[in-house]
Amino acid sequence: MLRPYERAVYYYETDKMGIMHHSNYIRIFEETRIHFLSEAGMPFPDIEAQGILMPVLSVECGYLRPLRFGDTFTVELRITDFNGVKLGVEYTVCNKATGEVCAKGRSWHCFTDGELKPLRIKSRYPAIYSIFADNMEH
């Protein structure tokens, strides 16, 4: 099991109500994906250096409890769908101090070359394929 992503809410991420603005959760999902790849031994810059892009096809987030400036949160990432062409990821954001689930989300991605043409990574990039396949929940 890979370590969850963890950090504190920055002041600039909060809104007039003093809570993390909803748009920042989508950024946190991206930070979590980058963290996951580094933890799994395949930093995102190494993937891009091989000419592979992972554009977002869709993203959604449900907000359950607010996070405030200075709150430390963790994000658990689960790969729920993967076939070598498309990738589905789920996220659970928790307040570290209280353990409360603050948000849940999901994103869908595909693998493309630099011209955004779809790639099947299983045979051409087996090390990258295995990072996702080996960490997918069954």
Active site residues: 15
Q: What angle (nearest 5°) sits at the alpha carbon of residue 36, between those of residues 1 and 7?
A: 100
Task: Report how far residue 27's alpha carbon sits from residue 30's, in angstroms, rounded to the nearest whole number.
Answer: 5
CA dist 45 to 50, 91, 129, Å?
9, 22, 16
CA dist 108 to 7, 58, 88, Å?
24, 5, 5
Say if CB 137 and CB 79 are below 8 A apart.
yes
